[in-house]
A and B are shown apart, each in its own frame.
Chain A
Amino acid sequence: MISCQAFRENLRPGSNDAGVLEHLRKCDACLDWAVKADPDNFFRAIGGEELVPPGGIDAFTDGVMAQVRVRQTEGSVKHRFLIPPRRLAAAAAITATLGIAALVYDRVPKPLPPARPPVAAAARPVALTTKPVVETYQSQNATIVEMPTEGPHDTKVVMIFDDSLPADL
């Protein structure tokens, strides 16, 4: 530490000289003198030395490192749990896209199929049912038409038109 005389000779307003400041912070007589010379030196008496947190540097460092480890663990857990939601989000997005596409497809007006001729309806297969065999028929209102045959082995077809007969005969 510099001498009191050297301090008093070298003290300047706002001085940042390490030796001067060290003396100001350690010598009571020179502090009193310095404050009278420049009151701004009053609070400059504080400082200089580096302080140590309560419990010491080792305990403090251990506390910081414990916090860091906790945060590291939290970080890795967060990271682990972040992946599935991302995947879930991607799956949801795909599902939503498909759903919307299906809805839009359903709502698009489809072109009507071309009208089919009535013949097509007649061509549809008809379920076969057993009908009663009519051997003889007599009626005054009936019109009976016998179709001409092409030979003795040809099937003989007779058509009867009678309004009084049941529809399903």
Chain B
Amino acid sequence: MAAVLRLMIPTNESVEPDDRELVRTIRNGDDAAFEQLVRRKTSKVFSLCCRVIGNAEDAKDISQLVFIKLWENLGKYDPAYAFDTWLYRMVTNVAIDFMRNKQSRENAINSNLRLVKTSADAEQSVVIQRKEIENVFHAVSAVLSPKQKTIFVMREMDDLSSSEIARILGCRESTVRNHLFNARKLMQQQLKKRFPEYSRLWKERT
């Protein structure tokens, strides 16, 4: 959670100045400082990639690509802005590009994947299987656009605020809220189709 707070609060006394200091040192040609930055940000970058992409191996490759892009473009970073916001923008751009390419290849396959549940099963009381939630998410989120999925992950799993997401993606906060609304709606439809036992949770509430 500390990481999230760093993103949301533009303060000079958290870890931010250290990031900026590191960037300054890297710009002066210090490779060791870059290595330190990679170590510091790996978990953050990999976690987002992994949740957006849904595959640890692909997420690892994408994270590596993000850091190489970071190294190549570090000269363009403006220290007036939070480093993490800039880093997140790079992660989302690379991840969204990757998903767009992947989605175009796999759309046909995903549309045929169904977890078959009988209506009798669905009527039984639901015990939420924590381990299964992630698999369910990756299954139903396949219908989302790369941008919708990225926004959903940043909001619901990385706990970023809508305003922070808007800053990262360079769009309006209302756009973020629209994407979130549509993402939830689409995923509910998918849950109903593919995981009726979980979809009952929504029915019970409404």
Contact = CB atoms under 8 A, between A and B. Distances in A.
B201 A36 contact: yes
A64 to B, nearest CB: 5
Which 9 residue pairs spanning A and B have beta carbons closest together? A47-B157, A18-B1, A50-B43, A51-B47, A39-B202, A53-B60, A64-B67, A53-B46, A61-B38
Given A43-B157, A68-B34, A31 B201 contact: no
24 contacts: A31-B130, A32-B128, A35-B128, A37-B205, A39-B188, A44-B156, A44-B157, A45-B128, A46-B134, A47-B51, A48-B1, A51-B46, A51-B50, A52-B42, A53-B42, A60-B60, A60-B64, A61-B35, A61-B39, A64-B64, A64-B67, A64-B68, A68-B31, A68-B71
Chain B binding site: helix, strand, loop or mixed by DSSP?
Answer: helix
A32 B89 CA distance: 34
Contacts of B184: 40
Nearest to A52: B43
A42 B158 contact: no
Interface residues of A, number: 37
A55 B46 CA distance: 12
Interface string A51-88: 11111011011011101100100000000000000000
Contacts of A51: 43, 46-47, 50-51, 56
What band does the interface of chain B fall in when counting residues whose beta carbon is under 8 Å from A? 35 or more
B156 A47 contact: yes
A8 to B, nearest CB: 16
A19 to B, nearest CB: 9
A162 interface: no
B133 A42 contact: yes
